[in-house]
Amino acid sequence: MLIAHGVLEHDVLGSWALDPVTLIGATAAIAVYLIGWRPADGSPHRWAFVGGVLAFVIAGVSPIHVAAEESLAWHMVQHLIYVGVAAPLIAWSAPGAALLRGLGPGVSRPLTTMRRGAGLSVDRMRTLRHPIVRWLVFVAVFWGWHSSRLYSLAVENEAVHALEHASFVGAAIFVWSCIVGPARASGRAEPAIRVFVVFLLGLQGVLLSALMIFSPTPWYDVYAGADALADQHLAGVLMWLPLGVLYTVTGIWAAMVWLGPDD
């Protein structure tokens, strides 16, 4: 559709952004995880982590990334992969323990010391990991990067763009962990509040996408041209439908877990 409307040229979709930092970082993350992985962690979780990291890489170095520089709709596709594919897979895999084992005591112990030195006690960590706090962090990151100034800055500056992607994935993993993660990773969230968080995620997503779809003017000057408004409307639809389906399916699953097999 985008090519048919002249938003992107064919050569853009054939280009790759083989960023060495992304490739090396992803390879290192998978290697550390596999070193620390134990059979007790579960084979499906292992493949979920690897799949989530690979989804992150695909979104960051494939033609999708190149196209996102010129089209808001393709930028939205990239964000959908981060938020709706990579983050849920990594969150479900609950890789924290395996990563710490893979890093070894020489790294994990200083990290624990730094956490304690920062005053992050057990009670404070429990507060920070509350599902509603996680949702608020995700909303702040998601809406913040979609503001005109920050979004344009991210498109124009590669370092800021990388920060945008990292914060998107980090915030998304943070909130998805309390929905699909095991008890420890979820902050021991109750089944009912998992359903509520999925509802809140869907609500904020619908609101932002509706604002993009029904806006009479383009939001971002960085995407100039006659098709800028149509591109923005398509981006809003892409945010609304795929994520809406994901949140609906996840919400149904969370509700079934909450109600139990006998209800």
User: What does pTM read for this prediction?
Assistant: 0.85
Alpha-carbon dihedral 166, 21, 64, 245, rounded to 10 degrees: -30
- For the chain, give the percent of residues with pLDDT over 90: 44
CB atoms within 10 A of CB 7: 22
Instruction: Note the pLDDT tens digit of each residue in 185-205.
Output: 666 678 899 999 999 999 999
Q: In Å, how far are 65, 108, 226, 231 from 4, measured between CA atoms?
A: 19, 51, 14, 12
Which residue in this structure is represented by tokens 């923005």? 232
Instruction: Note the pLDDT tens digit of each residue in 204-245.
Output: 999 999 999 999 988 888 876 658 899 999 999 999 999 999
